[in-house]
Every structure is written in structure tokens, then in C-alpha cells.
């Protein structure tokens, strides 16, 4: 019996010497998990109860190796890090319905100074303490109070722990704790080996581990996210090497001037062009009628492969298909192909301008747009500053217009309807207010104001885009407009913002992945390319996902190369309309959205 007690004492020594740390951090883990369960309607994962025991036991074991004074400092620092991670995780869960993960890390790194100040103004306030964040802060305060004030009570507690003759309960507790430690090792060892393998994996091996990665602690999720980001950066090097080897076969220069306008966070259901009751796109409505100012053709069934800007750009610029299992970094980017063909390529963005410290963009939202080699490979000219409002981009375009050539590709990237909506349009151009939404009995005035702000941003976006089109009315030009993704603004779901990747309900797919998409042709372009204009009109109801955009762009230019597939060109007669549109490469959009629509129709009958 004494021998057993000796082994139990050895096993429990790491916990015994760090008892307050272990107990409070375990409570922190359980609280963090329960906040996720309550807020995100997750099922309780029993695995996580043991996962926290395993991780904390390993930390305590390592702490016992350290000298006493160093141990105190390392223990304090470890506790602060874990509390901060849990606070950040609970903050994200409360405000964005998302845990710490790759998407959250990407969004954080894709945020510029302007967006950061807007974020702080909107979210950092005392109200956040009424959420799960407040519970964790309360636990932290109690932990500090217990650690530094209740010394006599702690000594009594440890005394109870040390001398088992005080109660049978203490014996049960000690044996029970040993049992839980063994169970946690049995359950969690394999998953921790997987984590280590993942952290050591190279870009070619990572898929072997990410598909089965299901860690739910904030710390492990953060490790996973950092690793994914690291691999993405490594992928940029491979991508840059690929662009240097790009070759085209032929180019007929079918279209002299092609313009691509990329919007931001555009909800299709808030576009008057698609039946919205508010007048949010009067200029686009007017341009639908053919005149000497050209004609706009609105496409009815277009979706985005993701609701995150960086992923959308990656997939809509690359010749790679999202369902293709090969590495996207081994495929050419369409602006590179245009430059190889002899087109002058200009990029004008109100989000991802290059900084003097371009290394920052190796881990930021600029991604392949701003990495030095890739930017040089893709663009001949680009703007150097962002503007409070998108209309400011036109003055930069005018200054760069002198560099236009006989064959020109111009890409505009707008701030569009990016959160915060009320900052996306100047005061003098705001039209909508709370009083315009009295029919929305389901919303309070605060929510109505947000909807009004969003509609004002959409109306202003219409003005900006129309101002761009005016630049090309007298030219032989074709313009494609698309946003990167949709948004939530109190439509089918009573919330604002986007849900993290992994939420693919019919409502989310419709609001966040379904997007407006249209093509405008100038009068000169229609007269010179009547066949293409007719193809555009004939294709307006085809199902399309914008990861196939590069093939449409190459078709319009008459560029042929090894990776070009005419079956993926939206307006070609050879377009494959039976292609499965797989959101994130795995979710069949049409199956989910169409099945839901059919079920609704059946119920109505």
C-alpha cells in the first residue's frame, strides 16, 4: 500500500506543486468550452474535458523541473497567456460567432489601420463584460485574489491534500485524479502527436494532418492557425517561382480594354438591380437599357467560393480550380498571363496598397498582391494610397491613365460595403434612415440604423461604380463587376457580419456566398464585338462560381495557354453548366440551397 502511495505521490507531484494554477486554469478551460457551447450551439465535446487535463498536466510537469523562483515567473506568464487567449476566443465567439482559428487570424492580419480604429471604436467597450468575456475576467480576478491574498486558506487546502488521514474524500480525490490523468493520456496522446506532426509538416504534407485536425482549445487552434499562415507564406515563394515560368501559346487581343471591378461585402438581396425594394442601384438600373452609353447585363446565379477576402482573391486570380486537389501555387495568375501576352496591367485598390515595409505583407491581407516578386509579375502600375471613400480611387486612375497602352487590363478593388457600413459613404450622400424601415417589426432602432447604413453604402457604391463606367463610355471597353463575397445584415439571420468558414446553412450560403455579378459593354464595344455581347446576354442565367473568372478574362482577351479551359468560361458556348459549385472545395452549394427551396415549395403546397 505504501508503495502505491509513493507512486501516486510521484504522479500527482506536478499538480500538487502547482495546485492553484492547475485548478483555476482547468476551470478556465471548461468555462471557455461552455461559452462556445452556449453561444454557438455546439454539442459538448467530452474529449475537451480530458484535453485540458492533459495539457495542464504537461505544463505543470515542465514547471516542476524549473528552479522555484523561475517557476513562479514562468507559471505567472503561462497563466496570463492562457487567460488572454481565452478572453480573445470568447470575444470572437460573442461578436463574430467564431473561435480563434485560421479565419480569425487571417481577418486580423488583413485589417489595415483604418479598419483597426473602426474595430476598436465599435467593439471595445464595457458592454463586452456582459458576455462570456466578463465571466473569464471575473475568474482571473478571483484567481489573482486567491493566489496573492488567501495564503492561510491555501496552506490549509494543501495540508488537506498532503495528509490523507484527514478524510476518506481526500483519498478518493487522489485516486480519482490519478485515474483522470491516465485516461487523459490514453485519450489525448495520439492527438498531441498529430499536433507535433502538423507543426513539423511541410507544404506538401500538411493535408495529411489538417483534414483530421479537430483541436478545440484556443492555444492549439492558435498553433494550427500560425502554422497554416506559415505554410501560406511558403506557398507564396512557390507561386512566385511558378509565375516566372509562365508561357502563353497565342493571343488575338480580342478586347482592347478589359476592366475588372471588385467590390466588397455585397449582399445580393440589398441590390435594387436584383429586386430589392429600396433604390440602392439606380445607376445600374438605368444602364440596363441599351443606349449610346452602352449596356449592362446582370447575371442571376453567381456565387463566391468563400466569405473571406484573401481566399476569394486567391481563387479568382489563379487558373487553379477550387475542387482541384493539386497545389494552387503551382498555377499561373491571370494578370501574369495578360502581361505575358502584351497587355498593360494596372491595379488600383482601396485596401491593399503596398507599404514601404513590404515584408509586413508576407503575413498580411495583401498576400500575393503585395509580395514584391508577385506584384512585379502581375502589375505594370498600381496606386500608392488608400482613401476614406472609394471615389478617391478615380483621381489615382486618372494619374495612371497616361501609362495605358493599346491593350489594357485595369483592375479596381473597392472598399465597397466593408464593415463599418456608416463610414462607407459621405454624409451628404446618405439617403436612408431608421424611418425607411418601419415595416421591419422584427428589428429594433439600432438594427434598423445598421440596415440603413448598409443600404447607404450600397447606394454610394452604385455611384462610385457608375463614375468608373463613365470613364469608358467613349472607349472600346468591357467591364466586369463582382464583389468578393456577401455579408449578413439582418436579413434571413438576425445578425450582422460574416460567420466563420464551416457554417454552411442555406441561409448563410444565400447571404454570404451568393453575389451580384454583371458585365457592361460600351457602345463602341457592342458595335465592334456584337457576337461577344450576344454571348454575354445568352449566359446571364448560367450557374457560375467566380473561381472560374480567369477563364472568362482570358476568353475576352483571346489568350490561349496550357491552363486555359474554355469549358470554364462563363460566356462560351462550351461552358460546363453541370459543374458542381463546391464552396470551400467541399460544400455543394446547389444541393443545399436548391433542396431547401424545394422543401419550402412542398410545404407551401
* Rg of the chain over all Cα atoms, to the nearest angstrom: 28
Predicted pLDDT of residue 368 = 83
Confidence of residue 89 (pLDDT cuts 50, 70, 90): confident
pTM of the model: 0.73
The domain 252-604: what is its CATH number?
3.40.720.10
What is the distance between the alpha carbons of residues 283 and 463, in angstroms, rounded to a whole number?
Answer: 7
CA distances from 118 to 110, 114, 125 (A): 14, 6, 13
Return the C-alpha cell found at 217: 482549445
Mean pLDDT confidence for 87-93: 86
**SS3 at position 354:** coil
Residue 366 contacts residue 588 (beta carbons within 8 Å) = no
Return the C-alpha cell found at 112: 489595415
Predicted pLDDT of residue 131 = 86
Residue 225 vs residue 447, higher pLDDT: 447
pLDDT at 450 over 90: yes
> How far does CA 318 lie from the centroid of its chain?
18
Residue 247 contacts residue 340 (beta carbons within 8 Å) = yes
pLDDT in tens, 518-542: 999 999 999 999 999 999 999 999 9
Bridge pairing between strands 295-303 and 544-545: parallel
**pLDDT over 70 for what percent of the chain?**
83
Predicted pLDDT of residue 551 = 98
pLDDT in tens, 485-504: 999 999 988 888 777 666 78
Residue 600 contacts residue 594 (beta carbons within 8 Å) = no
Comparing CA positions, the residue from 535, 542, 546 lying closest to residue 573 is 535
pLDDT in tens, 417-428: 987 798 899 999
Burial 181-190 (b: 16+ CB within 10 A, else e): beebeebbee
Comparing CA positions, the residue from 488, 482, 506, 479 lying closest to residue 592 is 506
For CA atoms 462, 463, 465, 466, the dihedral sign is positive
Domain boundaries, the chain: 2-187, 252-604
Task: Give DSSP secondary structure letters for 258-309.
Answer: EEEEEESS--GGG-GGGT-SS-S-HHHHHHTS-BTTBEEEEEEEEE-S-SSH
Q: Beta-carbon neighbour count of residue 28 at 10 Å?
A: 23
Comparing CA positions, the residue from 144, 146, 188 lying closest to residue 53 is 188
pLDDT in tens, 93-148: 887 767 776 666 666 665 656 656 666 666 777 778 888 899 999 999 999 888 87
**SS3 at position 45:** coil
What is the distance between the alpha carbons of residues 86 and 566, in angstroms, rounded to a whole number?
Answer: 49
Comparing CA positions, the residue from 589, 582, 566, 562 lying closest to residue 250 is 562
For CA atoms 313, 314, 320, 322, the dihedral sign is negative
What is the distance between the alpha carbons of residues 477 and 474, in angstroms, rounded to a whole number?
Answer: 9
Return the C-alpha cell found at 248: 502563353
Residue 536 contacts residue 571 (beta carbons within 8 Å) = yes
Predicted pLDDT of residue 109 = 62
Amino acid at each position: 500500500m505504501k508503495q502505491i502511495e509513493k507512486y501516486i505521490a510521484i504522479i500527482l507531484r506536478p499538480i500538487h506543486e502547482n495546485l492553484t494554477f492547475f485548478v483555476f486554469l482547468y476551470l478556465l478551460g471548461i468555462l471557455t468550452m461552455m461559452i462556445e457551447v452556449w453561444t454557438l450551439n455546439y454539442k459538448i465535446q467530452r474529449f475537451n474535458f480530458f484535453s485540458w487535463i492533459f495539457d495542464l498536466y504537461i505544463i505543470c510537469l515542465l514547471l516542476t523541473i524549473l528552479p522555484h523562483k523561475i517557476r513562479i515567473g514562468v507559471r505567472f506568464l503561462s497563466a496570463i497567456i492562457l487567460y488572454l487567449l481565452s478572453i480573445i476566443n470568447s470575444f470572437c465567439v460573442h461578436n463574430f460567432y467564431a473561435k480563434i482559428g485560421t479565419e480569425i487570424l487571417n481577418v486580423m492580419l488583413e485589417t489595415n489601420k483604418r479598419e483597426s480604429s473602426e474595430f476598436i471604436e465599435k467593439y471595445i467597450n464595457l458592454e463586452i463584460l456582459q458576455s462570456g468575456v466578463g465571466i473569464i475576467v471575473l475568474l482571473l480576478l478571483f484567481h489573482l485574489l486567491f493566489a496573492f491574498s488567501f495564503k492561510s486558506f491555501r496552506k490549509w487546502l494543501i495540508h488537506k491534500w498532503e495528509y490523507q488521514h484527514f478524510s476518506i474524500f481526500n483519498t478518493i480525490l487522489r485516486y480519482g485524479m490519478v485515474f483522470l490523468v491516465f485516461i487523459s493520456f490514453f485519450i489525448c496522446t495520439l492527438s498531441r502527436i498529430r499536433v507535433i506532426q502538423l507543426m513539423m509538416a511541410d507544404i506538401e504534407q500538411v493535408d495529411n494532418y489538417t483534414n483530421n485536425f479537430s483541436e478545440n482549445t484556443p492555444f492549439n487552434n492558435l498553433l494550427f492557425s500560425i502554422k497554416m499562415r506559415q505554410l501560406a507564406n511558403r506557398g507564396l515563394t512557390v507561386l512566385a517561382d511558378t509565375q516566372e515560368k509562365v508561357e502563353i501559346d497565342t493571343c488575338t487581343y480580342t478586347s482592347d480594354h478589359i476592366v475588372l471591378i471588385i467590390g466588397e461585402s455585397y449582399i445580393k438581396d440589398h441590390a435594387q438591380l436584383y429586386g430589392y425594394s429600396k433604390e440602392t442601384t439606380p445607376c445600374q438600373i438605368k444602364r440596363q437599357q441599351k443606349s449610346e452609353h452602352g449596356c449592362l447585363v446582370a447575371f442571376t446565379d453567381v456565387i463566391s467560393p468563400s466569405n473571406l477576402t484573401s481566399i476569394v482573391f486567391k481563387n479568382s486570380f489563379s487558373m487553379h480550380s477550387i475542387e482541384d486537389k493539386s497545389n494552387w501555387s503551382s498555377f499561373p495568375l491571370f494578370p501574369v498571363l495578360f502581361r505575358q501576352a502584351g497587355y498593360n496591367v494596372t491595379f488600383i485598390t482601396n485596401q491593399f496598397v503596398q507599404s514601404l515595409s513590404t515584408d509586413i505583407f508576407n503575413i498580411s491581407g495583401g498576400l500575393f498582391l503585395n509580395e514584391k516578386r508577385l506584384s512585379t509579375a502581375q502589375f505594370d502600375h498600381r496606386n500608392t494610397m488608400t482613401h476614406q471613400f472609394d471615389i478617391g480611387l478615380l483621381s489615382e486612375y486618372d494619374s495612371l491613365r497616361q501609362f495605358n497602352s493599346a491593350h489594357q487590363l485595369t483592375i479596381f478593388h473597392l472598399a465597397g460595403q466593408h464593415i463599418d457600413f456608416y463610414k462607407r459613404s459621405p454624409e451628404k450622400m446618405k439617403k436612408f434612415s431608421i424611418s425607411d424601415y418601419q415595416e421591419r417589426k422584427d428589428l429594433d432602432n439600432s438594427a434598423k440604423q445598421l440596415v440603413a447604413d448598409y443600404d447607404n453604402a450600397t447606394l454610394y457604391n452604385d455611384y462610385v461604380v457608375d463614375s468608373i463606367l463613365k470613364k469608358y463610355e467613349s472607349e472600346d471597353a468591357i467591364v466586369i463587376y463582382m464583389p468578393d463575397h456577401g455579408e449578413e445584415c439582418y436579413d434571413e439571420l438576425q445578425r450582422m457580419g460574416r460567420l466563420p468558414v464551416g457554417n454552411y446553412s442555406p441561409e448563410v450560403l444565400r447571404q454570404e456566398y451568393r453575389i451580384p455579378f454583371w458585365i457592361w459593354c460600351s457602345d463602341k464595344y457592342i458595335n465592334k464585338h456584337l457576337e461577344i455581347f450576344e454571348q454575354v446576354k445568352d449566359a446571364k442565367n448560367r450557374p457560375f462560381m467566380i473561381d472560374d473568372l480567369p477563364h472568362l478574362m482570358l476568353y475576352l482577351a483571346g489568350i490561349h495557354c496550357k491552363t486555359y479551359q474554355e469549358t470554364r468560361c462563363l460566356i462560351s458556348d462550351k461552358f460546363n453548366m453541370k459543374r458542381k459549385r463546391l464552396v470551400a472545395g467541399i460544400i455543394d452549394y446547389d444541393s443545399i440551397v436548391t433542396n431547401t427551396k424545394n422543401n419550402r415549395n412542398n410545404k407551401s403546397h
